[in-house]
C-alpha cells in the first residue's frame, strides 16, 4: 500500500499524532476483497491474513502510514460541543484508488486519543459489523458512502453494560472532513486554519472550483462556490437516503462529511412501513432525525457550515465599509445560498420520486407523488415493497389488479401520467406479456431496490456473530471465522445485487413479523 497523508500538511492544530493501541490477539474476521482490489492492495498482502490482522487492528503500522486523530467540534442534537474529535479512531493516511482519487484509510475502535474524553477508545463487534454490512449495502444501492475494508476482532473483552468482543473496523472514505471540522476552527477564531481548510477541501473535493477561477481559493468567489458545492452534495446524499429508505439516526454536524458521503453508521436503520416520522434511535426522543426530517436537518447543518465561513468573508470584505456593513454583506451572500437549499432540495426530491414512479418529470407531478406517500403513510404500506409492486405491476396483470385495489383511483391517475410520457407499445410479442410502459418500467427497475438490508435480518446476523464468538474473543477458531464469513457473505451477496433478484434474494425480502414496531437502535459505541 502506498500511503500519503496530505492532511498532515495542514498543521498541528488539525490533529494529534498518536499510535493505535496494540491488540492482544487480533484476528481478521472480514475482508472486503473488491474494495481492497480497488485500492490496489497487492495480492501478496491480501493473502497474508496475519499481517492484515496486525495492520487493520492497529497493532502494526503499514509502511508509510502516519497515524493521527483528527480534531473537530459538532452540534449534537442541536447543542454545540466545541471539543469532540476522533476519540477512538486513527487515520493512517490516504491511498489512491482505481479512480485516481485519494481515499482515507481510518481505523475505528483502535484505542484512546487526546479526544477520547471519558470513552475507552474501543468499538464492540456488533457495531463494527453493522457498519460493514450497511455501508456495503448502501454502496451497492448507489448511495454515496464511506466503505469498510475489514473487521478485525482484537481478542479483548470490552464493556458495554454487558461483556462484548472488541473489534476494529477499517473505514475508507473520500475524506473525514466534517462540518464539525470547520466549526472547530471557527469556534476558536482561528481564521488562518479555516482558510487552509477551505483551500484543502476545494482541492480535494471540488477541483472544478479551482479550475473555474483564477482567483485564490479563499476569495469570496471560492468560499461561496465551496458552500454551494457542499450544499449540492448534501442534497444529493439525503435524497438518495430517502430513495432507498435509509434513516441515519444521528445527523449531528460532526457526522456530516463535506464530501457528501454517508459516515458514522451508529444507530442507523431502514424504513419498513412508510412513516415520515419514523425514528428508531433510542436517544432521538423528539424525532429530530426522523426519516422525513432528514432534508430539513441537512439544511440546518449547511447553515452551520455557512456560519463558519462568515468570518472568512468578513476578513476579505471591503474595508471602506463599516464593520456592521461588512457583516451584513457577508450574511446576505451566504443567506442567499442557504435559502436556495429549499427549492433545490424540493426539485431533487420530486425528481427522485418521479424516477421511482417511472416518470421523467417528477417536479411536474408533485401532487401525484405526495398523494401516494400520504396513502402509504395512512395505510401502513411497506415502502420498498410498494414501489417494487408498482414496478412489477407494469408487466404483470395479477400484481396490477392487487396494487390497483390497494391504491384505488391513484393507480389509474399514475397510468395516465405514464401514458402521457410514453408512446403506448403493443401488449404481446411472440406470446410473452410485454409492458405497456417499457421506458417507465426500466427507470423504475433502476430506482427501486428489490431488496434492502432489513433491520431484522441485520440484527439476526449481528446476534449470530456475537453468540458464536461468545465471551472468549481471544479463542476464536478458524472454523468460527469461516462460519461467520459464510453467514455475512450470503447476506452481502444478496445486498450487492439490490436491483436484480438472485436465487437467495427471496430469503431477505420479507418484512419482520411486527413490522419493526418495537425495534430500537443504539449509538454504536
- Cβ neighbors of 70 (< 8 A, separation 6 or more) are 7, 14, 15, 85, 86, 89, 91, 176, 181
344 close to 231: Cβ distance less than 8 angstroms: yes
Q: Which stretch binds ligand AMP (CB under 6 A): 82-90, 378-386, 391-399, 505-513?
A: 82-90
What Cα–Cα distance (Å) separates residue 380 from each residue in 172, 234, 376?
37, 29, 6
Among 27, 131, 261, 264, binds ligand AMP (CB under 6 A): 264
Single residue of 84, 126, 152, 394 touching ligand AMP by CB under 6 A: 84
Measured in residues, the chain has a length of 525
For ligand AMP, the closer of residues 85 and 93 by Cβ is 85
User: Which is it for the CA torsion 321, 325, 329, 330, positive or negative?
Assistant: positive
Residue 424: exposure state from Cβ atoms within 10 A (0-12, 13-18, ≥19): exposed
E strand intervals along 378-431: 428-429
- For residue 215, how many other CB atoms are within 10 A of its CB? 12
What's the CA gap between 5 and 155, in Å, rounded? 29
Which residue, 156 or 264, has its beta carbon nearer to Mg ion?
264
Name the residue nearer to Mg ion (CB basis): 38 or 261. 261
Contacts of 25 (CB under 8 A, 6+ apart): 154, 155, 156, 473, 474
What are 45's three cell numbers? 498482502
**Binding-site member from 86, 131, 240, 264 for Mg ion (CB under 5 A):** 264
Distance CA 61, CA 1 (A): 11
Interatomic CA distance for residues 254 and 76, integer angstroms? 8
Q: Which residues contact 133 (CB under 8 A, 6 or more apart)?
A: 453, 458, 461, 488, 491, 492, 495
Q: Supply the minimum distance, in Å, between the C-beta of residue 400 and Mg ion.
A: 45
Q: Residue 255 CB, nearest distance to Mg ion (Å)?
A: 4
88 counts as binding ligand AMP under rule CB under 6 A: yes
Using CB under 6 A as the binding rule, whether residue 255 contacts ligand AMP is answered as yes
* Cell, residue 434: 410485454
Q: Which stretch binds Mg ion (CB under 5 A): 252-260, 272-280, 408-416, 451-459?
A: 252-260
Sheet holding 68-70, edge to edge: 15-17, 68-70, 89-96, 102-108, 162-173, 147-160, 27-31
Q: Does 245 engage in binding with ligand AMP (CB under 6 A)?
A: no
Where does this chain touch Mg ion (CB under 5 A) — which range of 205-213, 248-256, 466-474, 511-519?
A: 248-256
Residues acting as catalytic residues = 254
* Per-residue binder mask for ligand AMP (CB under 6 A), 23-52, x = binder: ------------------------------
CB of 127: closest distance to ligand AMP in angstroms?
A: 9
| 266 contact choice in ligand AMP, Mg ion, none (CB below 5 to 8 Å, kind-dependent) | ligand AMP
53 binds ligand AMP (CB under 6 A): no
Inter-residue contact 260 to 144 (CB < 8 Å): yes
Instruction: Using CB under 5 A, count the residues that bind Mg ion.
Output: 2
Backbone angles phi, psi at 124, to 5 degrees: -85, 160
Cβ atoms 231, 299 nearer than 8 A: no
Piece of the chain touching ligand AMP by CB under 6 A; list 49-57, 113-121, 326-334, 447-455: 113-121
Q: Which is nearer to Mg ion, 108 or 299 (CB)?
A: 108
Give the whole-angstrom CA distance, residue 79 versus residue 359. Answer: 41
Q: Which is nearer to Mg ion, 265 or 280 (CB)?
A: 265
Subset of residues 496 to 515 that bind ligand AMP, contact rule: CB under 6 A: none
**What is the distance of C-alpha 60 from the center of its chain?**
29
Tally Cβ neighbours within 10 Å of residue 70: 26
Instruction: Please report, as residue ranges, which positions from 272 to 331 form the binding site for ligand AMP (by CB under 6 A).
Output: none
- Partner touching 122 among ligand AMP, Mg ion, none, CB below 5 to 8 Å by kind: ligand AMP
Identify the residue among 181, 201, 255, 256 touching Mg ion (CB under 5 A): 255
Element holding 503 (H helix, E strand): none
Which of the choices ligand AMP, Mg ion, none does residue 85 contact, using the CB cut-off of 5 to 8 A by kind? ligand AMP
Closest residue to Mg ion, Cβ-based?
264
For ligand AMP, how many residues bind (rule: CB under 6 A)? Answer: 16
Q: Residues 20, 26, 93, 121: which binds ligand AMP (CB under 6 A)? A: 121
Closest to Mg ion by CB, 218 vs 255, is: 255
Residue 383's binding partner, choosing from Mg ion, ligand AMP, none, with beta-carbon cut-off 5 to 8 A by kind? none
Looking at beta carbons only, is 68 or 84 nearer to ligand AMP? 84
Distances (CA, A) of 419 to 398, 416, 424, 446: 20, 5, 7, 19
Q: Could you tell me the smallest distance in angstroms from the CB atom of residue 372 to ligand AMP?
A: 34
Q: Which does 360 bind (CB under 5 to 8 A by kind): Mg ion, ligand AMP, none?
A: none
Please, what is the minimum distance in Å from the beta carbon of residue 146 to ligand AMP? 12
Q: Which of 132, 131, 130, 112 is nearest to 121 (CA)?
A: 112
Q: Which residues bind Mg ion (CB under 5 A)?
A: 255, 264
Q: Which residues bind ligand AMP (CB under 6 A)?
A: 84-88, 115-116, 119-122, 255, 264, 266, 523, 525
Amino acid at each position: 500500500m502506498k500511503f500519503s497523508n496530505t492532511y498532515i500538511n495542514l498543521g498541528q492544530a488539525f490533529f494529534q499524532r498518536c499510535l493505535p493501541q496494540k491488540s492482544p490477539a487480533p484476528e481478521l474476521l472480514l475482508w472486503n476483497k473488491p474494495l481492497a482490489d480497488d485500492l490496489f492492495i497487492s495480492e501478496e498482502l491480501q493473502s497474508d491474513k496475519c499481517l492484515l490482522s496486525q495492520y487493520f487492528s492497529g497493532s502494526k503500522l503499514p509502511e508509510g502510514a502516519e497515524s493521527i486523530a483528527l480534531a473537530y467540534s459538532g452540534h449534537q442534537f442541536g447543542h454545540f460541543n466545541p471539543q469532540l474529535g476522533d476519540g477512538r479512531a486513527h487515520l493512517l493516511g490516504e491511498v489512491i484508488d482505481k479512480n485516481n482519487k485519494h481515499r482515507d484509510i481510518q481505523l475505528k475502535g483502535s484505542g484512546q486519543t487526546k479526544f477520547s474524553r471519558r470513552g475507552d477508545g474501543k468499538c464492540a463487534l456488533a457495531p463494527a459489523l453493522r457498519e460493514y454490512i450497511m455501508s456495503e449495502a448502501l454502496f451497492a444501492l448507489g448511495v454515496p458512502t464511506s466503505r469498510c475494508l475489514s473487521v478485525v476482532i482484537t481478542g479483548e473483552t470490552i464493556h458495554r453494560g454487558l461483556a462484548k468482543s472488541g473489534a476494529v473496523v477499517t473505514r475508507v472514505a473520500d475524506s473525514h472532513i466534517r462540518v464539525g471540522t470547520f466549526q472547530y476552527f471557527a469556534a476558536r477564531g482561528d481564521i488562518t486554519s479555516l482558510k487552509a481548510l477551505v483551500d484543502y477541501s476545494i482541492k480535494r473535493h471540488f477541483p472544478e472550483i479551482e479550475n473555474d477561477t483564477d482567483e485564490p481559493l479563499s476569495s469570496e468567489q471560492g468560499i461561496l462556490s465551496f458552500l454551494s458545492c457542499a450544499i449540492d452534495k448534501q442534497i444529493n446524499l439525503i435524497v438518495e437516503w430517502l430513495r432507498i429508505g435509509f434513516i441515519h439516526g444521528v445527523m449531528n454536524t460532526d457526522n456530516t462529511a463535506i464530501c457528501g458521503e454517508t459516515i458514522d453508521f451508529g444507530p442507523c436503520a431502514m424504513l419498513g412501513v412508510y412513516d415520515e416520522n419514523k425514528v428508531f434511535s433510542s436517544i432521538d426522543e423528539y424525532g429530530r432525525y426522523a426519516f422525513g426530517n432528514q432534508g430539513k436537518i441537512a439544511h440546518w447543518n449547511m447553515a452551520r457550515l455557512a456560519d463558519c465561513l462568515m468570518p472568512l468573508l468578513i476578513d476579505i470584505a471591503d474595508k471602506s465599509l463599516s464593520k456592521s456593513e461588512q457583516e451584513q454583506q457577508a450574511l446576505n451572500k451566504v443567506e442567499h445560498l442557504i435559502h436556495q437549499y429549499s427549492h433545490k432540495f424540493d426539485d431533487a426530491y420530486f425528481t427522485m420520486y418521479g424516477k421511482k414512479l417511472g416518470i421523467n418529470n417528477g417536479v411536474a407531478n408533485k401532487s401525484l407523488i405526495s398523494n401516494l406517500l400520504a396513502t402509504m403513510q395512512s395505510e401502513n404500506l411497506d415502502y420498498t415493497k410498494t414501489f417494487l409492486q408498482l414496478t412489477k405491476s407494469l408487466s404483470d396483470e395479477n400484481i396490477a389488479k392487487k396494487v390497483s385495489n390497494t391504491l384505488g383511483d391513484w393507480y389509474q391517475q399514475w397510468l395516465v401520467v405514464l401514458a402521457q410520457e410514453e408512446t403506448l407499445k403493443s401488449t404481446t410479442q411472440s406470446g410473452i406479456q410485454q409492458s405497456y410502459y417499457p421506458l417507465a418500467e426500466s427507470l423504475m427497475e433502476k430506482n427501486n431496490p428489490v431488496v434492502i438490508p432489513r433491520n431484522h435480518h441485520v440484527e439476526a446476523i449481528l446476534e449470530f456473530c456475537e453468540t458464536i464468538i461468545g465471551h472468549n474473543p481471544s479463542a476464536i477458531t478458524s472454523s468460527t471465522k469461516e462460519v461467520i464469513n459464510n453467514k455475512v457473505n450470503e447476506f452481502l451477496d444478496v445486498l450487492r445485487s439490490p436491483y436484480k433478484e438472485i436465487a437467495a434474494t427471496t430469503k431477505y425480502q420479507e418484512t419482520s413479523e411486527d413490522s419493526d414496531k418495537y425495534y430500537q437502535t443504539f449509538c454504536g459505541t
